[in-house]
Amino acid sequence: MAGATPLTVTGAPFPILPLWLSAPFEATPTFFHSLQQQLDLFVNIVLLIRQNVVAPLLEIAVWICMVMSTMLVTEKLIMGAASLYSKLFRRRPHRRYKWVPMREDLEMGTMAYPTVLVQVPMFNERQVYKLSIGAACGLSWPSDRLIVQILDDSTDPEIKDLVELECKKWMNKGINVKYEIRDNRSGYKAGALKEGMTKDYVQDCEYVAIFDADFQPESDFLLQTIPFLVHNPQIALVQARWRFVNSNECLMTRVQEMSMDYHFKVEQESGSTMHSFFGFNGTAGVWRISAIEEAGGWKDRTTVEDMDLAVRAHLVGWKFVFVGSVHVKSELPSTFRAYRSQQYRWACGPANLFRKICFEIFKTKKLSMWRKLHLVYSFFVARRVFSHIVTFTFYCIVIPTSILVPEVSVPKLGVVYIPTTITILNSVGTPSSFHLIIFWIFFENVMSLHRMRATLSGVFEVGKVNEWIVTKKLGSSSKPAKTEESMKRTRPSIINRVLLAELGMSVYLFICATIDLKYGKNHYFFYIYPQAIAFFIMGLGPLGLVGTVVPN
């Protein structure tokens, strides 16, 4: 026993059997020696497969991921530079476009103001309907030039009655509120907005402001945004920035805030500064109604009807402006289930839209070929497809797997420099949360699995590609009142509440990290162990380990 050595095979990165298992092979050379020969043969076959099949495929995957990572970091550097230029040289919208405050005319009176439609689509919004209706009705604008349209698709009769009662309350205060309902939810939000635009009273409106049910604009919102549309006929959309009222509710909302602030401060700011395309966020924006009509109106072919409309408006030559100084209060999803549903829709929808609109982009005659290529490559391919795929594939699959295949090495550019650059660029949006950057990295890597599946579902149009799940809002309370529906809902079993794919990834990463710790030379285990823990915690997230816990 003392003289035994661990069973090894030439070319293996670590002993095939530990000392205490290999000792009996040395002690009984007759039967166990034959068994050892068979094991050597099996291991040699595995090594041959690894060297001649797995290693070349992994090498190809490494370089594909390197190309996608380079594309992604290049996009982020360009957007960051444009955003920095806008800030340093004060290239704000008020300096790039004509903006004159709205005032009553001595002769025309309030007729000097254009008629504005405010649309508020909602679906069973028990917790926030009063806030959203109140904020819309409280906008500073002549009452005879403002129409507030509440598009209620609620299926809960009790909530419907409450929303209608709230509308009547504001009607009695002199606000022109229109309460609109439908017989079905065809087209979901896009269907509701489209039907709302067909009403007779809309014909007199020039502009439409859209707010989701959890958004609360300040009273001067229209006074700050409408002048851009009035004095610049080439502008179709004025997009405002979101400000989150519950960002400090839990660690998950803090991490979300970092990603969303980057989206507004860098992605949308740079797009507006460079006069290139940036998408409508679906809310907290004002559209020119004639632009919506010229673009073909609302379509429900994907779950991102807002982006669909924006792309089609861009294709017919309209421009957009992002006004970062105008903030609209909103709510981040604070439950893990709601956040996952939102992220699935946000990842799947753009990928599916790209599949459906790609040929339309190249067929249009109102954009130069350069702008067409920029829209396809920058907005869709790099940011909406490759970004979700490479984050999971490279950092959670390829790099950990390279530990098991020593024939393959990953360049330091991909392991260290590119992810470090991306991390630093993403942190500039929310400097106050820089100390949470490590949590943001691991959280985003775990969510990349969910987003990649959603992206592939959208690209290949399979699975839940057209499923619309409304993001649940909690309003000012994390304990929503019980409804008859929630009382009847049965609690699913634990196996149906945990995320098996995330738990499986945690096991795989833990194994890779342990092998790297004992036999590796690249010290990948420093980040793979924490990543494995993150996958494990978020795999159990639906049990209440992630986000706000809301009792049934």
With beta carbons less than 8 A apart as the criterion, state whether 350 and 458 touch. yes
Question: Which residues contact residue 314 at a Cβ distance below 8 angstroms, ignoring those fewer than 6 apart?
Answer: 277, 320, 367, 375
Neighbours of 395 (CB within 10 A): 22
Token output for 432: 């106050």
Entry field: residues in the chain: 552
Kind and range of the H or E element at 178?
A: strand 177-181
Question: Which residues contact residue 229 at a Cβ distance below 8 angstroms, ignoring those fewer than 6 apart?
Answer: 206, 207, 235, 238, 286, 288
Token output for 287: 């559209």
**Closest by CA position to 193, among listed 316, 116, 283:** 283
Residue of 153, 261, 300, 516 with catalytic role: 153
Phi, psi of 140 (to 5 degrees): -75, 105
**Closest by CA position to 541, among listed 410, 442, 422:** 442
- The SS3 call for residue 267 is helix
Token output for 470: 């409304």
What is the residue type of 181? I
Residue of 214, 300, 306, 516 with catalytic role: 306
Neighbours of 206 (CB within 10 A): 16
Neighbours of 319 (CB within 10 A): 17
- Does residue 40 carry a catalytic annotation? no
DSSP codes of every residue in 349-398? HHHHHHHHHHHHHHH-SSS-HHHHHHIIIIIIIIIIIIHHHHHHIIIIII
Q: Which string of b and e fits 450-468 if b means at least 16 CB within 10 Å?
A: bbbbbbbbbbeeeebbbeb
d(CA 180, CA 120) in angstroms, rounded, equals 10
Neighbours of 168 (CB within 10 A): 12
d(CA 143, CA 395) in angstroms, rounded, equals 55
How many Å separate Cα 212 from the centre of its chain?
A: 17
SS3 content of the chain, % helix, strand, coil (to 5): 60, 10, 30
Neighbours of 412 (CB within 10 A): 10
d(CA 548, CA 99) in angstroms, rounded, equals 42
Neighbours of 391 (CB within 10 A): 23
With beta carbons less than 8 A apart as the criterion, state whether 429 and 264 touch. yes
Phi, psi of 429 (to 5 degrees): -65, -35
- Does residue 306 carry a catalytic annotation? yes
Residues catalogued as catalytic: 153, 306
